[in-house]
């Protein structure tokens, strides 16, 4: 580990305690550029906003996680003995709403995208810093609505708000929950807009499109989806609220309205939303794999175009959620084909990562282990996705635990692993301190095994016919449910580990230096933690991306 | 500013002419061609506004691409959703519903 | 023309800043296209499903008020475009007045729309309590539900646009915004106004000219 910056500050205090005091870079960093609450809550610094988001999404991650814990406890026995039927419905609805809109979608883009995109392209901030702050406040308005729903007794429609259940029959706070998602959508839109404009207009001299880190490219693709898909969800939720509040029955079958139209509009957003969650994860993994293998990324342009391809084709597959809904079977066949097509760019990425590792000098650091976890779990999630994309096979497993397992492999196994990978990889950059590598490795392993123990049994459960969204089930499924619940306990504890050692590192960790992983990229050329304005002078880029020195054959 | 007045006024007159055309056209018995005609005219009006009033004729490709992407994605939404409705009972009546 | 004081933090020159502002607004316009896109999808979907009753109901709307309203909005767009020309030429006073006229035409649009709603309410065509006497037939109510949602959402946008333009006109009047240094502000805000016009250009045939 290169120690370009050492803890020189305050020799008297340093001797008094074992803690390393402020380093020189920390003194002038964004973290010390103001200590008042005001300097945090009214900051326009993208790095501080990223930290605000980090705290916020972690908060919602634990609320959503608690709902999951309740459900897994209830599912230990075939009877519903912890939650009432109504309570179970409310638990999985809030779990879905919170995890999708308040954790997964903002997680990587709003924390790491916010922090890193300006640093990676050589800019002092995002194009619209105040809009960035506004987006965080909008996120919290939506978040407070959700917490209100939680306290007021919840909502039981499922995170999909299907009509006519949501518009005509559901009791509970549908309007408030829909309003929460409606509001948080604007936060997504503003973030996506900000990223696109930033990447277009604020690249440093020499930072051509072909030199952009893959992290930035993938976030560009994500932003395109955020901007083009979210408004459709916004208006669809507005239509539900109008139906519930003012009786304007747009989807009411009694008036000739069609609930399938609702499903089309909803999935036009919500399928691409899956790519909003997974593309940033792929962004992270591309960086992690290259840094761990110490080699240039294999097939840079293939990865770039597969990101853009996923963003585009991802919009053409939504109706595979509706195969058994009574939709036209001809359209079903078209969507089935297109859903298989979207697997191609994802496959290209996996092959490219693997090829990048080939003959690399791999270091088994925590970020790399998380990246490997992502690739393994993403492949399982992706391949079971192919089963679900096929019209005939889907009929058998539709709305069973097979689907639940599939999308948790993508979203939790994939995105959450990548989120933790990013957190470990860039933690030294964000805070200037190195955490315990051993604990990091252990966490990565525990998350991987806990995750598989939780969700692999659910594939079998689903294949055997256990429907999703039920908490009273046939006793023959109990063994697998208990296994899954046991796994979720391990997973839950593994998610808590980083809390301890990352926060411990804040105070007792060794100063990390500018570039602890010896990675390429502009973000590693600035001090850790970076100064308020990122670069004293806007850098001029003359090197290709990922220009790790490849050792010659037989070389040391 | 003087030099701008003439082309903008001409575009404005063109827009009013198209409006007259589409209202008049709606009273003709065009049958199933009627929506195509009225949306075609609306598209022409929109192009005039975007190109001249919004000044897109002077802007770079990025700005044009942003609006174009909005339109292309809207087309995806409309066409695939409509395709479902139109083929739902095709060949096999009342298969689904 | 370029005063360095007007270049804000992440940007290094005014041209870069102008490009970013315009690009940001156009992306926002794309999101607006898709926002209304959801309503257009519903309109087109249901028009294909319930063609006859939709044609019949559309004929009962006040096409002449709507045509007049289209003229009002197109005219307002002309004034908005002229305001940009004036702003670029450095004529702050003319810019302020032209924006004022644009906003006034927006208010006229809202007035006419309100009058139209009142007429429909009286005729029993509006799907609100007390105003829906003639909406017994399901398809008819479905069309009017969509009509009210579409025009209502559009009216909300017009209201926001009017407020925005009046705010900028006031800032020009008090010299808080200066031309031509801040002409980009006018360009960006009028882009939004034009989009409101474009959306109406499509709502008009989709609601009033269904034949």
Residues within 8 A of B (CB atoms), C 22-51 only: 22-23, 26-27, 29-34, 37-38, 40-41, 44-45, 47-49
CA distance C207 to C204: 6
Question: Token pair 């139906």 is at which residue?
Answer: A243
Task: Supply the pLDDT for residue B94.
Answer: 57
Any domain includes A290: yes
Which chain C residues are Cβ-neighbours of B12 within 8 angstroms?
74-75, 78
* B92 near C CB under 8 A: no
Task: Supply the pLDDT for residue A552.
Answer: 53
Instruction: Express each pLDDT in B77-89 by its tens digit.
Output: 999 999 999 998 8
Q: Determine contact, residues A414/A380, Cβ cutoff 8 Å.
A: no
Helix/strand/coil for C110: helix
| Residue-range definition of the domain harbouring residue A48 | 40-350+366-524
Residue B60 predicted with pLDDT over 80: yes
Instruction: Express each pLDDT in A55-67 by its tens digit.
Output: 999 999 999 999 9
Which chain B residues are Cβ-neighbours of A268 within 8 angstroms?
77, 81
Tally of CB atoms within 10 A around C122:
11
Task: Supply the pLDDT for residue A554.
Answer: 47
Which chain A residues are Cβ-neighbours of C142 within 8 angstroms?
249-250, 252, 255-257
Among B69, B70, B84, whose Cβ lies nearest the Cβ of A331? B84
Q: What is the mean pLDDT of residues C19-32?
A: 95
Instruction: Express each pLDDT in C131-143 by its tens digit.
Output: 888 888 899 999 9
Whichever domain contains A486, its CATH number is: 1.20.210.10
The alpha carbon of residue A289 is apart from the nearest alpha carbon of chain C, in Å, by 31
Rg (CA), chain A: 24
CB contact (8 A) between residue C46 and residue A256: yes
For residue B91, what is the nearest residue in chain A, using CA coordinates? A330
Task: Supply the pLDDT for residue A535.
Answer: 92
* CATH architecture for residues C12-208: Up-down Bundle (1.20)
Which chain A residues are Cβ-neighbours of B89 within 8 angstroms?
328
**Chains with ≥3 Cβ pairs under 8 A against B?**
A, C
CA distance A377 to A383: 10
Any domain includes A534: no
Among C22, C38, C201, whose Cβ lies nearest the Cβ of B63? C22
Which chain B residues are Cβ-neighbours of A261 within 8 angstroms?
81
How much is the ipTM here?
A: 0.94
Q: Which helix (H) or strand (E) holds A132?
A: helix A129-151
As for how many domains chain A has, the answer is 1
CB contact (8 A) between residue B1 and residue C34: no
For residue C88, what is the nearest residue in chain B, using CA coordinates? B1
Any domain includes A448: yes
Helix/strand/coil for A551: coil
Residues within 8 A of C (CB atoms), B 39-78 only: 39, 41-42, 45-46, 49-50, 52-55, 59-60, 62-63, 66-67, 69-71, 73-74, 77-78
Q: Which two tokens stand for residue A480?
A: 């697998």
End-to-end CA distance of chain B: 61
Residues within 8 A of B (CB atoms), C 50-79 only: 63, 67, 70-71, 74-75, 77-78
Residue A184 Cα distances to A97, A98, A230, A237, A278, angstroms: 11, 11, 10, 12, 19
Residues of chain C with pLDDT > 70, as a percent, come to: 98
Instruction: Express each pLDDT in A460-503 by its tens digit.
Output: 999 999 999 999 999 999 999 999 999 999 999 999 999 999 99
Provide CB contacts within 8 A for A360, sequence distance 6+.
A292, A293, A294, A295
* B26 near C CB under 8 A: yes
Residue B83 has phi, psi (to 5 degrees) of -60, -40
CB contact (8 A) between residue B80 and residue A331: yes
Question: Token pair 């089935």 is at which residue?
Answer: A336
Intervals of chain A under pLDDT 50: 1-17, 554-556
Residues within 8 A of A (CB atoms), B 54-83 only: 62, 69-70, 73, 76-77, 80-81, 83
Which chain C residues are Cβ-neighbours of A235 within 8 angstroms?
35-39, 153
Q: Which two tokens stand for residue A259?
A: 């609930």
Q: Which helix (H) or strand (E) holds A268?
A: helix A259-293
The closest of C155, C153, C165 to C192, measured between CA atoms, is C165
| Domain ranges within chain C, ordered by starting residue | 12-208
Which of B49, B61, B88 to probe the C interface (max C CBs under 10 A)?
A: B49
Question: Token pair 């252990």 is at which residue?
Answer: A442
Q: Determine contact, residues A546/A452, Cβ cutoff 8 Å.
A: no
CA distance A431 to A440: 16
Which chain B residues are Cβ-neighbours of C33 within 8 angstroms?
67, 70-71, 74
Any domain includes A44: yes
Among C9, C32, C42, whose Cβ lies nearest the Cβ of A250? C42
Instruction: Express each pLDDT in C42-101 by its tens digit.
Output: 999 999 999 999 999 999 999 999 999 999 999 999 999 999 999 999 999 999 999 999
Which chain A residues are Cβ-neighbours of B62 within 8 angstroms?
200
Mean pLDDT score of chain C: 92
Which chain B residues are Cβ-neighbours of C27 within 8 angstroms?
66
**Chains with ≥3 Cβ pairs under 8 A against C?**
A, B
Residue A170 Cα distances to A90, A162, A231, A267, A277, angstroms: 11, 10, 25, 20, 28
The closest of A380, A411, A413 to A491, measured between CA atoms, is A413
Q: Determine contact, residues B43/B36, Cβ cutoff 8 Å.
A: no
For residue A335, what is the nearest residue in chain B, using CA coordinates? B80
Q: Which helix (H) or strand (E) holds C86?
A: helix C63-88
CA distance A170 to A164: 9
Residue C3 predicted with pLDDT over 80: no
| Domain ranges within chain B, ordered by starting residue | 1-58, 60-97
Provide CB contacts within 8 A for C69, sequence distance 6+.
C109, C112, C113, C116, C200
CB contact (8 A) between residue A197 and residue C23: yes
For residue A226, what is the nearest residue in chain C, using CA coordinates? C31
Question: Token pair 């502009």 is at which residue?
Answer: A522
A510 has which bridge partners?
A434
Instruction: Express each pLDDT in C146-178 by its tens digit.
Output: 999 999 999 999 999 999 999 999 999 998 888
């Amino acid at each position: 580990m290169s120690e370009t910056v050492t803890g020189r500050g305050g020799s008297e205090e340093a001797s008094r305690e074992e803690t390393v005091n402020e380093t020189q870079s920390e003194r002038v960093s964004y973290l010390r550029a103001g200590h008042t609450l005001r300097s945090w809550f009214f900051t326009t610094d993208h790095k501080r906003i990223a930290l605000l988001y980090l705290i916020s999404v972690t908060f919602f991650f634990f609320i959503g996680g608690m709902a999951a814990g309740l459900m897994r406890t209830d599912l230990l026995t075939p009877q519903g003995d912890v939650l009432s039927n109504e309570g179970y419905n409310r638990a999985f609805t809030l779990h879905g709403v919170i995890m999708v809109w308040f954790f997964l979608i903002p997680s990587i883009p709003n924390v790491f995208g916010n922090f890193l995109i300006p640093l990676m392209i050589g800019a002092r901030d995002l194009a619209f810093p105040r809009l960035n702050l506004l987006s965080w406040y909008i996120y919290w308005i939506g978040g407070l609505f959700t917490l209100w729903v939680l306290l007021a007794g919840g909502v039981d429609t499922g995170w999909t708000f299907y009509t006519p259940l949501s518009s005509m029959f559901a009791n509970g706070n549908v309007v408030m929950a829909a309003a929460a998602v409606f509001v948080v959508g604007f936060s997504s839109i503003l973030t996506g807009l900000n990223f696109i404009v930033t990447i277009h207009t604020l690249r440093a001299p020499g930072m051509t499109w072909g030199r952009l880190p893959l992290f930035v490219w993938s976030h560009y693709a994500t932003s395109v989806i955020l901007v083009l898909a979210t408004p459709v969800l916004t208006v669809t939720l507005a239509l539900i609220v109008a139906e519930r509040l003012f009786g304007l029955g747009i989807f009411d079958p009694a008036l000739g309205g069609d609930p399938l139209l609702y499903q089309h509009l909803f999935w036009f957003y919500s399928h691409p939303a899956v790519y909003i969650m997974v593309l940033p994860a792929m962004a992270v993994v591309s960086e992690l794999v290259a840094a761990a293998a110490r080699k240039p990324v294999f097939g840079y342009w293939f990865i770039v175009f597969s990101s853009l391809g996923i963003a585009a084709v991802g919009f053409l597959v939504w109706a595979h959620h509706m195969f058994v809904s009574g939709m036209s079977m001809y359209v079903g066949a078209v969507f089935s084909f297109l859903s298989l097509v979207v697997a191609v760019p994802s496959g290209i990425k996996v092959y490219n990562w693997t090829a990048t590792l080939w003959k690399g000098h791999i270091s088994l650091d925590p970020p790399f282990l998380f990246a490997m976890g992502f690739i393994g779990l993403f492949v399982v999630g992706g391949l079971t996705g192919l089963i679900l994309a096929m019209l005939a096979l889907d009929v058998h497993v539709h709305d069973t635990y097979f689907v639940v397992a599939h999308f948790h492999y993508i979203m939790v196994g994939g995105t959450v692993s990548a989120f933790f990978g990013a957190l470990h990889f860039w933690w030294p950059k964000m805070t200037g301190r190195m955490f315990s590598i051993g604990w990091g490795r252990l966490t990565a392993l525990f998350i991987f095994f806990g995750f598989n123990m939780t969700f692999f049994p659910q594939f079998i459960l689903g294949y055997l016919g256990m429907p999703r969204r039920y908490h009273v089930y046939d006793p023959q499924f109990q063994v697998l449910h208990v296994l899954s619940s046991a796994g979720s306990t391990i997973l839950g504890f593994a998610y808590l580990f980083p809390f301890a050692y990352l926060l411990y590192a804040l105070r007792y960790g060794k100063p990390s230096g500018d570039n602890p992983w010896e990675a390429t990229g502009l973000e590693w050329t600035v001090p850790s933690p970076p100064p308020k304005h990122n670069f004293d002078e806007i850098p001029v880029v003359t090197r290709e991306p990922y220009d790790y020195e490849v050792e010659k054959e037989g070389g040391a | 500013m003087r030099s701008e007045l003439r082309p903008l006024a001409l575009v404005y007159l063109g827009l009013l002419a198209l409006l007259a055309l589409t209202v008049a056209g709606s009273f003709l018995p065009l049958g199933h061609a009627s929506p195509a005609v009225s949306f075609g005219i609306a598209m022409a009006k929109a192009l005039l506004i975007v190109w001249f009033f919004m000044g897109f004729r002077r802007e770079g490709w990025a700005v044009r691409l942003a609006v174009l992407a909005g339109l292309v994605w809207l087309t995806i939404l409309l066409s695939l959703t409509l395709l479902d409705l139109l083929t739902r009972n095709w060949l096999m009546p009342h298969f689904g519903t | 023309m370029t005063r360095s004081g007007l270049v804000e933090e992440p940007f290094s020159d005014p041209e870069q800043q102008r490009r970013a502002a315009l690009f940001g607004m156009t992306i926002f316009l794309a999101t607006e296209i898709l926002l209304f896109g959801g309503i257009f999808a519903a309109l087109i979907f249901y028009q294909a499903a319930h063609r006859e009753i939709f044609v019949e109901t559309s004929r009962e709307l006040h096409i002449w008020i709507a045509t007049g309203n289209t003229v009002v909005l197109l005219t307002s767009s002309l004034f908005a475009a002229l305001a940009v020309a004036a702003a670029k030429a450095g004529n702050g006073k003319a810019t302020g007045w032209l924006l004022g006229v644009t906003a006034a035409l927006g208010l006229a649009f809202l007035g006419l729309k309100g009058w139209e709603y009142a007429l429909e309410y009286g005729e029993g065509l509006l799907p609100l309590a007390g105003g829906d006497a003639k909406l017994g037939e399901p398809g008819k109510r479905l069309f009017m539900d969509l009509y009210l949602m579409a025009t209502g959402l559009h009216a909300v946008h017009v209201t926001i646009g009017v407020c925005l333009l009046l705010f900028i006109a006031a800032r020009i009047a008090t010299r808080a915004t200066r031309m031509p240094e801040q002409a980009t502000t006018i360009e960006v805000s009028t882009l939004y106004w034009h989009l409101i016009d474009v959306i109406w250009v499509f709502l008009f045939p989709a609601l009033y000219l269904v034949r």
